[in-house]
Structure formats: structure tokens, C-alpha cells
Amino acid sequence: MRPANLSVAFAASVCLSACLPVDKGEQPNLAGQTVRLSVLHTSDIHSRLLPYELAPLKTDADLGLAPEAPPYGGAARLAALIRREKARADRSILIDSGDYMQGGPIFNASDGEPEVRWVSLMGYDGVVMGNHEFDKGVMNFADKIARFGSFPLLAANYWWENRGQASAPGFDTLSAPYTVTNVRGVRVGILGMASIGSMYGLVDGGNSVQATPLEPNETARAYVDLPRPNVDLLLVLSHLGLTEDQDLITGYDAYYPYKSAKQFLERAESDPSRWVQLEPPLETCQAEGVADRAQCTFLDGTIRVFIPGVSGIDLIEGGHLHVVLNPPQVIRDPSGRPVIISHPGAFAKYLGRLELSLQFPDDKADATRKLEGAEIVAHDFHAFPVDSIWCDDQARAWRAGVQYDQFRSLIVTRPAVSETGPDKRLCRDRFWESMTNNGLSEDQKVDCVDKYDRDFWTFDCDRWLPDDCLARTERCSRLEDRPTTALLQPYVTKLDQTFALTRIFAYAPRNIVRRNSSTGGDSPLGNMTTESMRVRKRVEAEFALTNTLGI
């Protein structure tokens, strides 16, 4: 890991957090109550705004992605799922772990504009910076956020240089280290931890992105206690990667210059956050007569240290590694408290939903317990597949080999509107009638769908489930999010005009297979890709390589 400017990490944390407002919102008295919170989570969408073809691996099929129901992904489907789950939830937040750019032709054609506009449309409560947002340069990313971004963009562990200068991207004002959202009395602090390992490759015309990555554990440690009086739940929204998410809680070994680590090594021995020098061993230096600790280093002045984990975090919602953690991991922080780590996968294949049961301290609790906020007493995770039968709960249950009544009891709906609200209930009923083509004109269908937000959905699958697969996929297609479709249409037109995506430009003399093996081996698809990179006009390199997920 790149040595970070650790003294700046702490100073910046204190300064920025002191300036951030807290969303007061509605504040009912939840003392002594147990409430539910649904955390809806996406990550690493990688510009899969349009459905795409895919040969699902066994891991995807095991998670419910239907091999018989392509194509997969797509923002209109994902948006409809998000709106449906919001309608089902008592309380919910929507978050993204970054890398929503790069990976589809629409990004090449429109430079990330539709991605930022879609995230804004969906009303995300927090989005952490991913490394691929910088793929077309830091100024392009900043421009898209400044013009189209209307969501909290988070990165606590980046120190932005050249602040206030005309040449700076302006992320010191466009982003924040954390945000607080109030969900009907549940105050959730969302701390953003952006990618560090990928910062080496983030360049723009030979210049750095003008950001210094900060050591994550000390950065997080600086924030844990600061927002505590104003939050009931502290969530880390991470693009660090799974191992780094775990290290945030358990601690890890790293190499740092002694002069950078000195202030942390000199913390009191009773301080659980004190760094420990592992190599060179202090005992060896003392035995060799080296009295000055500053001289007990490797030849380059570095030492190997253990950086302790952080206490006070309730859960980590992560990304970057493109994995689904089902079930989520639960690890203990240095104080013994359980911390949940959840990852929702990548490429718009899934919407993750982490259902939390939160126990609030009662009025008789002592000040320390009240300061700790709500306690997570139970949790449950579900990954909703985004395929052509995304809307069909009954078909999904049949695929899983369970009885529908049993499955439906697990996804009982909680309508967002009162059953006594005649207008909204009428539209809800008319909406389902429109989907089943029972007696409404096309104008009435459009009026019904557009007049009321789809957060008023309640699912009543036995009213409309057909017997054939084609009808099921067509029904799900009609339920896709219309605002998203309208948003993307100009970009789809531009894409069609820019790239001939359906043109066949070559034929392979034999099957080209993609090798995914834990033991390695040659990859014919990888060889073809890298050879194309190598001989490309004006590149003509002697050597080329790519990572597996880069194809």
C-alpha cells in the first residue's frame, strides 16, 4: 500500500466533519422500540445501463440468476426493483459502492453523463467514489458531478490538493467525507471509504488526480466518535475491497516510513489504537546497541507495523471485488462488537437488500448506552436477480423449488400508502389492471402509471401470473421503470449512431472459450483480447495484458 499522509488524514477528518450539516428530518421517539431498516445496495454497475447478454456461471445460477431468462442487468429493471423494495419496506435507504461508470459502450459514447443522471434520478442516499469514475480523467468526472449530480458523493480518505484553484477538479466541495440521513427517526451516518489500491492508475494527461489517498483505519477512527451524538447507526460505504473491509475492523500489517508512523507508535500503551512495530523487532535493535528508536528501521527508513482495527462501526457495505456475500460476514471489532460486512455483486446483476432489526435503548438506559445508538439484533440478506423474469416472484419461487405460499410469506409487502387512500388505491388497482390488459385504454394506462409514483406498488402475483415464459418476460418488460427508460432514450440513440454494435467484423475458426480456473491456465479469449490490444493502430506494443474482468 502507498504510504499515506497520516497527519493530514486526521486533521482533514476533524475539519470536514465539523463543517457538515446533520439532516434533522422527522424525529419520532423510538426509545425502547425495535424497528426494521432495509438497506438497498448496488455496486460496480459498470455502465450496464442497458440489458446485456451473459452466460451465467454456477455462482450466479445459485444466487437465482436464471440462465433461461436473458438478457441481464439494465437500469430500467434495476430501478423498478428498487422502487418495489422501497414500497415494501417500512424504512429504507439506497446506497451505491462506486464504479457505476466504465464497462459498457454507453460510457464510451457519453462519458458517464447517463450514469450520473440515473443515480441522481433514483435518489441515492449515499454514493462512494469508485476508481473507474476517473477513467476518462478527473476533470470529466468532476464536470459530470457538477452538472448532473444531485446525490451525496463520499470519499473520507481522499485529501484533495490545490483546493480553490482554477485547475483543481473541485471535489473538496463536490464531495464530502460522510452524510447523515434521517429515515423516520432512524439517523444513519454513512461514511465513504474510496478505493486506495487503484489510485496509482488514476491519471489525466500525465498529471495525478490531485488527491492523496489516506490510510483508511486512521481516517475511519477519526470519524467514529465525531458523528455519534447525531446518529443511531454508523455505516461505512466502501470501495476498498473485501480484504480491506475486513482489515478496517480486524487491523492489518503495513510498511510505513518511521517518521510517518511515529505519532501513532507513541500513543499510550493502554490505547487500543496504538500502532505496534513488528519489524525490525525492537528487541533485536536494543540487543545490538541501537538506542535511538528512529534508527531501528530497514535501510530505506521504513518499518513494518500493525495498524489496529476500528471500533464503533455497525456495518460495512462494500464493493470493488464484484462478489456477493450471501450470507454477509460478521466479524468482531477490537471491543468485541459484531460488525456486518455485505457485498451485493456487480454489473447490475443483483439488487442487494440487507434487512436490519434495530433495538433502540429505552429511556432508562445510561448515557453511554444511549450514545451508542441502536443495536443490530438481527439481520437478513437477499440478492434480487436482475434478469428477464425479475418481477415474477412466483416463477422465482418455483425455480427455487419451494411452495409459493411459503416463499410469499418471506416477502410480505408493507404498502407505502394507506389502504383507505381511495385515489392512490384506485391507481394501484388500475395499474395492475393495465398490466393485465383488463379494460383500460392505452391513454388510461399511461395516465395511471405516470400520475402516481411506483412506490405505491403492492405485489399481488396470483392476479396476473400466466403459464408461459414469454408472457412472463413481456410482463416484466412492461413493469420496467418508465422514467429511467425516458432518461436513457437519447443516449441509446446516440449510441446507435456512434457504434455499429451489431456489426459482425470477424469469424472465429473455432470456439473461443473463456477460462475461469482457480489453478490458472491459458485463456483463449484473453489471448485474443490482448493480441487485439497489442496490434492496435498507433499502439503496436510488444506486450499486452488484461485482467479477467477487464474483458
Query: What is the predicted pLDDT for the residue at 227?
Result: 81
CA distance 456 to 39: 19
Residues 406-416, mean pLDDT to the nearest whole number: 42
pLDDT in tens, 81-92: 999 999 999 999
Question: Would you say residue 454 has pLDDT above 50?
Answer: no
Contact 339, 236 (CB under 8 A): no
The type of residue at 20 is: L
Q: Amino acid identity of 200?
A: Y
Q: With bands split at pLDDT 50, 70 and 90, how would you rate the model's confidence at 550?
A: low
**3-state SS, one letter per residue, for 136-195:** CCHHHHHHHHHHHCCCCEECCCEEECCCCCCCCCCHHHHCECEEEEEECCEEEEEEEECC
Q: What is the pLDDT of residue 423?
A: 37
Question: For the chain, give me the number of helices (H) and strands (E)?
Answer: 19, 19
Residue 8 grid cell: 493530514
Query: Which pLDDT does position 198 carry in this prediction?
Result: 62
The whole-angstrom separation of Cα 52 and Cα 41 is 21
pLDDT, one tens digit per residue, over 134-164 is: 999 899 999 999 999 999 999 999 988 877 7
For residue 248, the SS3 value is helix
Number of neighbouring beta carbons within 10 Å of residue 528: 14
Question: Strand, coil or helix: what is 339?
Answer: strand
- pLDDT for 405 beyond 60: no
Q: What is the per-residue pLDDT for 337? A: 94
The answer to whether residues 383 and 64 touch, using CB atoms and an 8 Å cutoff, is: yes
Indicate the pLDDT class of residue 539, thresholds 50, 70 and 90.
confident
Please state, in angstroms and rounded to a whole number, the distance separating the CA atoms of residues 201 and 2.
Answer: 12
Q: Is 307 helix (H, G, I), strand (E, B) or coil?
A: strand
For the chain, give every domain's residue range: 6-251+309-385, 259-306, 506-551
Q: Which CATH class name applies to 6-251+309-385?
A: alpha beta
Residue 478, number of CB atoms within 10 A of its CB: 15
State the Cα–Cα distance between residues 495 and 289, nearest whole angstrom.
Answer: 70
Dihedral angle, C-alpha 199, 352, 70, 518, nearest 10 °: 60
Q: C-alpha cell of 406?
A: 411459503
C-alpha cell at 264: 501513532
Angstrom CA distances, 46 to 158, 354, 549, stand at 22, 22, 11
User: What confidence tens digit (pLDDT) does each residue in 293-304 have?
Assistant: 899 999 999 999
Residues 454, 428: contact at Cβ < 8 Å? no
Confidence of residue 440 (pLDDT cuts 50, 70, 90): very low
Give whole-number Cα distances, 10 to 109, 116, 218, in Å.
40, 30, 7
pLDDT in tens, 3-24: 444 434 444 444 444 445 445 4
Alpha-carbon distance of 444 to 239, in angstroms, equals 44
CB neighbourhood size of 336 (10 A) = 7
Helix, strand, coil share of the chain (percent; to 5): 35, 20, 45
Q: What is the pLDDT of residue 521?
A: 73
